[in-house]
Amino acid sequence: MSIESIDAIPVRLRRDEAYLGATPSHTKVGNYYLRPPYRCLYSETYETVFVRLRTSEGISAWGEALAPVAPEVVCNIIEQLLAPALIGREPLGAGRLWHLMYDLMRDRGYYGGHMLDAISAVDIALWDAAGKLLNQPVRTLIGGAFREDVPCYVSGLPRPTDDERVDLALDWQGKGFHAFKLAAGYGVRADETTTRRLREALEGGTTLLLDAHWAYTVEEALQLGRRLEDLEVGFFEAPINPEDIAGHARLRDGITIPVAVGETERTRYQFRPWLEQRAISVLQPDIGRAGISESMVIAQMAEAFNARMAPHLSVGLGPCNAASIQLAAALPNLYLLEYQPPVVELASSLLQEPLVVEAGRFMIPEGPGLGVELDLAKVRAANC
């Protein structure tokens, strides 16, 4: 039994509405664009990398990297570095193979960024292969399920005005969803106003979360956090520059709202100082950047510091969504899983069987491995 091939497939899918809403027309940067006040590049299309791993027994397994910009970079790493190191090896033992891949470029300083995104995609495919070979779902292989379905929050509320955001949240609430994250970072006063509008409009017991997309200084984040304390905000995500661990520790000491960080980090080594410096309450690794093997290590480390897990899940499609659900089912310290409605809809359109989200909960895909199968014909037809 051995790994026969590993193929990386770059994907670009066009939708009527770009991620987080309409695309600005005046901030183009090559094939991408800026979305002020946020600083990073966004794409007009949904971009990702699918990995297809095949074994000598004829098993086909799927993985995916979170690659919202320049997916070909991740593909090149997989094809030139990772696949040659794994082909011919036993596919079982994803944790051991994670270390093999991680060590390939570790001494050269490549222990983050695109290198880890590529490793994560292959790691997910290895777990899918293991599940199919052993006829078990991933959640069982990584420790067993703590829940029969996975609680989630509606992410973004991508509408241009407060009235429209409130209407969208009320519409979701009517469908049984009671946790919402606001895409914030538009200024202390504006974010406070929007959050208060939502709190006043929504039923009691509704969870409100805030994602500032790294837009604030420590002082601004402290000011906003203190203004929001009476609104029972569930967490304050990505408030200041992601490199500033000490600043986050100062913020966490200065407000009662839990501080959430993690989509920028990929390994136990990157998360460790956050926990040691008590700079974080909720960890948000993205499985398309951390993989299944390392996400489990991160979750276990977080549990030792009494921290909770709320896995990040933005533009990852079918395998990323399914892997995140399998992971979340097996976490004793899970808070909530992110739910991006248009992304899940797009992901489902490429799967043989759609993902199901009902009344604020992800249904866990049944079947071995990830429990989903990509339809390559649909992927090819939709790819730009």
Q: Which residues are catalytic?
A: 312
From CA 62, how far away is CA 82, in angstroms rounded?
15
DSSP symbols for 196-233 = HHHHHHSPTT-EEEEE-TT---HHHHHHHHHHHGGGTE
User: Which two three-digit tokens encode residue 333?
Assistant: 């310290």
CA distances from 279 to 1, 272, 301, 335 (A): 45, 10, 14, 18
Residues β-bridged to residue 259 = 236
Residues β-bridged to residue 45 = 14
Burial class of 199 by CB neighbour count within 10 A (0 to 12, 13 to 18, 19+)? middle
CA distances from 134 to 54, 92, 94, 140, 328 (A): 15, 10, 13, 11, 21
From CA 18, how far away is CA 44, in angstroms rounded?
6
Residue 361 and residue 305 in contact, taking contact as beta carbons nearer than 8 Å = no
